Amino acid sequence: MPQIFRPGANAYARIVLVCLVTVPVISILVVYVVMGSSFVTGQNVFVDQSPPFSHQHHVGALGIGCKMCHVSVEKSAFAGLPTTHVCMTCHSQIWTNAPMLAPVRASMAEDKPLKWRRVNNLPDYVFFDHSAHVKNGVGCSSCHGAVDTMPLMEQAKPLTMSWCLSCHEAPEKMLRPEDQIYNLHWSPPKDQEEKGKALIAHYAIDPKHLIDCSVCHR
Amino acid sequence: MRAALFLVLFAALGLAGCGDGDMADQPSLRDQEASDIWGIGTSVRPLPEGAIAQIAPATEAALAVPPPVSEALLHRGQEDFETFCAPCHGFAGDGDGIIVQRGFSPPPSYHSPRLRAAPASHFIDVITNGFGAMYSFADRVTPEERWAIVAYIRALQLSREASLAEFPEASEKLR
């Protein structure tokens, strides 16, 4: 009876054994990298709007504060996107004939609200609250980047669960005093560690519960 | 047999979970979400004609009585003034803000004799209902914030007419 396995089969067997270990590891790595890439998270993708709205122009050059347009950012979970009335506060007299602003005028004339395409958009099964962050020492730029340099809005951070948790696990690294919340170019000072601990006490934050699932999934 | 039944039931439950349910986009509507429920492309419901906000009486009551002035109130007033009013009225209230420099019609200075003499209720009224070319800010500034802003405007006005005699400590420091 001839032998079933020829000597070369040993090599195949070794290759199969190696593959049994490496293929799953490599596939997991690939999936991990792809899921964290901006292709999946939507990070750094500019979103066109109608009308085209520039934070670089309005915030950077004109210095208008966020709350003029995002009225409820300190008061509720939802930051609020501006209505036609808000744009018309200034554009009733400025650039009144600009084609770029035609959608605002049409919205006014037809009494139909402006429609803004969402840039940062969490899945509906995640609960997020602006007021809880903005009133407790987390500034806009920690999550939205330097919007005053953006001609069109982009999602500045991955907004994945691990990104949220990276701060919830150690908020003291990112906390600011009240007068720095709207500073879009804030970076942690050298003594952030001490300052952060003092700020946790100042805002009465209880870091122990911040990584409970029920904080974000209710 | 029992085990097989359980398996089938379990599989059926699992399959029921698939369907058209995308958990990331649930049928419940979020604030200002794109939706055709009202026929205008957004989840924001247009107000039925003649609707009055539930908080209208509370708003009216809060606007009727001025709150006591405190340092905290002035700080809040400064923040809100600088966000909502300074773009046109300027940081010192002279009516020369950046939007005016870009072509908006110039508002009167808060330091004019007429606006110095105007009662606080006039400022509240202008913020609430707008005035000429100036739009209403009732949608952006709560009654408490309106009072804080007016208190800060009063502080701005005072800063131009204060005399050293009124602040003996300050004249002490100058010597």
CATH number of the domain where residue B108 is located: 1.10.760.10
Give which of A89, A96, A178, A218 to mutate to test B binding, by max B Cβ within 10 Å: A89
Q: Residue A86: exposed, middle, or buried by beta-carbon count in 10 A (0-12, 13-18, 19+)?
A: buried
- Number of domains observed in the structure of chain B: 1
Q: Is B72 within the bounds of a domain?
A: yes
Whole-structure pTM value: 0.91
In this complex, which of B25, B44, B80 lies closest to A113 when CB atoms are compared? B44
B56 — pLDDT class (breaks 50, 70, 90): very high
> Which residues of chain A lie closer than 8 angstroms to B24, CB-CB?
123-125
Torsion sign (Cα): B65, B71, B76, B79 = positive
Instruction: State which residues of chain A have pLDDT below 50.
Output: none
> What residues make up the domain containing B140?
55-162
Beta strands in chain A (DSSP E): none
Question: Among all residues of chain A, which has the CA nearest to that of B142?
Answer: A71
A86-100, A111-125, B61-75, B154-168: which range is least confident on average?
B154-168
Could you give the ipTM of this predicted complex? 0.82
- pLDDT digit string (tens) for A155-165? 999 999 999 99
Given this model, what pLDDT does residue B153 score? 98
Q: Is the pLDDT of residue B20 over 60?
A: no
On whether the CB atoms of residues A186 and A176 are closer than 8 A, the answer is: yes
Indicate yes or no: CB of A93 within 8 angstroms of CB of B105.
yes
Give a yes or no: residue B6 inside a domain: no
Interface of chain A toward chain B, CB-CB under 8 angstroms: 62-68, 71, 78, 80-81, 83, 85-86, 88-90, 92-94, 112-113, 115-118, 123-125
**Distance, CA of A133 to CA of B103 (rounded, Å):** 37
Closest chain A CA to residue B26? A124
CB A123 within 8 A of CB A160: no
Side-chain half-sphere of A182: how many Cα atoms within 13 Å? 16
